[in-house]
Amino acid sequence: MDKLKVRIKHIFTSDNNKNSILQQVCDLLRKEVACYNWVGFYFVNKNKKELKLAQFSGKPTEHIIIPFGKGICGQVAISNENFVVQDVSEQDNYISCGIEVKSEIVIPIFKNGQNIGQIDIDSHKMKPFTKKDTELLEFVCDLVSNLF
């Protein structure tokens, strides 16, 4: 396991407050991965069919609530699939959080087969994401799932 994964795992085993754990994960990822400029967790409100922003690290966003289907995040709430956007300018259904954001990756979090939320990462770099990012973030999402 690489060093960053060890540090992430350590957060989950050394703390028992869910909010604090999620905040530390956001902060660590943003600090340690150069191309991660904004890192946040959105969670599903099934009744309202919307996502709500929880912990995040980076510039505050006005997109606290995202309806299912809207933007990259809202699409993942419906598709239940990873969404890797190497160039946001190619996306029609995209909610901009700033002109500086060039790419985005969203990985869903599953609990007992249900899509309960997602990790969302914005980057100021074009085409920064590789299989390693997907794999790292799936690792994070599996750990987050165990908190619920």
Helix (H) or strand (E) segment spanning residue 65: strand 65-67
* Opening angle at CA 30, ends 20 and 13, nearest 5: 35
Work out how close the CB of 101 gets to ligand SME at its nearest, in angstroms, rounded to a whole number.
7
- Residues in contact with ligand SME, counted by CB under 6 A, come to a total of 15
- 147 interacts with ligand SME by CB under 6 A: no
Determine which residue in the list 94, 115, 134, 147 makes contact with ligand SME, applying CB under 6 A: 94
Question: If you write DSSP's letter for every residue of 94-131 in order, what string do you get?
Answer: ---S-TT--EEEEEEEEETTEEEEEEEEEESSSS---H
Write out the binding residues for ligand SME, residues 27-46 only, by CB under 6 A. Answer: 38, 40
Region binding ligand SME by CB under 6 A among candidate stretches 7-15, 16-24, 72-80, 126-134: 72-80
- 133 interacts with ligand SME by CB under 6 A: no
Site string for ligand SME, 98-127 (x = CB under 6 A): ------x---------------x-x-----
SS3 string of 40-61? EEEEEECCCCEEEEEEEECCCC
Region binding ligand SME by CB under 6 A among candidate stretches 10-18, 28-36, 61-69, 125-133: 61-69
Q: Is 76 helix (H, G, I), strand (E, B) or coil?
A: helix
Beta bridge partners of 117: 43, 109
Determine which residue in the list 4, 43, 52, 61 makes contact with ligand SME, applying CB under 6 A: 61
